[in-house]
């Protein structure tokens, strides 16, 4: 994995981020990664092709929040998402990793050891889930 620091958003990063947020929000979210010292964006490449990205916000007390996690559709189910989270665990001293997600992705987090709590319908007709991983007691 490699940290993404280019002031201009690369086309493949734009596409990946669009899987994790709305097209309208991609440019603003990318800008936040470039300007905010607590936010970091990483890209995951296979043979020089970026196929995944993970964006985090470092919180107080060694806590991490996954803001965006995306893998290209043709590379899903190959363990790339798990590898990106494992990278965070190995390269930082986070005590917890948190993500909020929807019904489509909640099973991914559950399958790799996150504790899942329903947040109910935060938006009309859309159930959201809090996903919490304890880095000190769990292994990926």
Tens of pLDDT, residue by residue over 49-84, are 999 999 999 988 799 999 999 999 999 999 999 999
CA–CA separation, 53 and 1 (whole Å): 9
55 has which bridge partners? 41, 68
Query: How high is the pLDDT of residue 19?
Result: 93
pLDDT in the model for residue 26: 94
pTM: 0.91
- The three-class DSSP label of residue 128 is strand
């Amino acid at each position: 994995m490699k940290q993404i620091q280019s002031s201009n958003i690369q086309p493949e990063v734009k596409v990946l981020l669009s899987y994790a947020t709305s097209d309208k929000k991609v440019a603003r979210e990318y800008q936040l990664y470039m300007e905010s010292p607590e936010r970091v964006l990483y890209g995951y490449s296979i043979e020089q092709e970026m196929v995944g990205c993970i964006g985090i916000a470092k919180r107080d007390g060694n806590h991490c929040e996954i803001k965006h996690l995306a893998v290209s559709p043709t590379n899903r189910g190959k363990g790339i998402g798990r590898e990106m989270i494992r990278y965070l665990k190995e390269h930082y001293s986070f005590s917890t990793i948190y993500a909020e997600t929807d019904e489509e992705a909640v099973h991914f987090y559950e399958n790799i050891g996150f504790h899942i709590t329903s947040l109910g319908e935060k938006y009309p007709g859309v159930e959201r889930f809090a996903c919490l991983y304890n880095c000190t007691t769990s292994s990926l």
